[in-house]
Structure 1
Amino acid sequence: MVEESNEKINTSEKINTNERIILNVGGVKYETYRSTLTAYPETLLGTMFQERNQSLLQPTNNNEYFFDRDGHLFRYIMQFYRTGEIFWPNESYFSDYSTFYG
């Protein structure tokens, strides 16, 4: 009986898949939709933002999540979530640090 009532509570608390999420990655902020991240449920971010994990999330400023990683390189990860394609520039692109920090 207890399980049934908890299940009803959980299913009634549907999350908004169009909710805007801010990912603060090493100080660089990326804004996207929850649905963009959950479109790939087998990934870390896809799993993290699934409805079933909502109670485990601890945002700052209501919808911002901090990751201590390289924020400039994270843009390639966001590009994958948005397009479904992996883009990785050639080595000469990375030889000029001003591309990232200029």
Structure 2
Amino acid sequence: MGKFDDNERIILNVGGTRHETYKSTLKTLPGTRLALLASDSDIDSVLDQLQQVPGFIEYNARTKQYFFDRHPGVFAYVLNYYRTGKLHCPADVCGPLFEEELSFWGIDETDVEPCCWMTYRQHRDAEEALDVFELNVDNGDEDDDVGGGLGIEDVHVDGNAGRWRKWQPVIWNLFEDPYSSRAARVRAHAKLHMHNSPVFITKAFK
């Protein structure tokens, strides 16, 4: 097999969805997995490297199509990043899934655009909040003390329920309903100011 030229189209089948782009487009992000397809190596060499990648299934020489068994919806955003230079996060995909797909394609999460950063980070914020609750409970703090410290005084649940079952409604309200408690109002207010702050945007991408 020979080499690609920059104007040659590359066909990618990701999770059953067909995408078509140029080799020159994939060259815009060196060091990423798709950039490998645009390297100056011959196709045989590229295929040898791709065979080491979990998730790469095959190359169809007849149709000149690469097949990857990955999330097709997320990949549309990944490919658009190569085309536009801006990485946006889909609103209908949870942060951990998007993070996993970015990792597979070799893209740094800090490349996510500021307008999508808070949405992308939301799952980590929830995990960090849960860690705080777990730490307080493990240290022997009463549930009322934990809730009161966050301005959530009206948490009354069955004492036999699991910790996640007890705190799940509180966590969701904290992030989804800014009027559910003092803690939720403080978080919503801080999120608004941080999101619009040039200092926050600068620090977030360091």
Provide the TM-score with structure 1 as the length reference.
0.67
> Which has the bigger relative contact order, CA under 8 A and spacing at least 6?
1
What code does the residue aligned with 1:68 have?
D
Q: How many residues align?
A: 81
Q: Structure 1: any 5+ residue segments left out of the alignment?
A: 1-12, 96-102
Identity of aligned residues (%): 41
Q: Structure 2: any 5+ residue segments left out of the alignment?
A: 48-57, 95-206
Q: Of Structure 1 and Structure 2, which has the larger fraction of its residues in strand?
A: 1
What code does the residue aligned with 1:67 have?
F
Render the CA deviation track for 1:29-50: whole Å, top value 9, x for unaligned. Answer: 1100011112212111112330
CA distance in 2, matches of 1:82, 1:55: 26
1:48 corresponds to which residue? Answer: 37
CA RMSD in angstroms comes to 2.1
Contact 1:41 1:50 in 2 (8 A): no
What does 1:11-90 align with in structure 2 at a 5 Å threshold?
15-52=4-41, 54-56=43-45, 57=47, 59-60=59-60, 61-90=62-91
CA distance in 2, matches of 1:53, 1:45: 15
Provide the TM-score with structure 2 as the length reference.
0.35
Which structure has the larger Rg?
A: 2
Contact 1:24 1:66 in 2 (8 A): yes
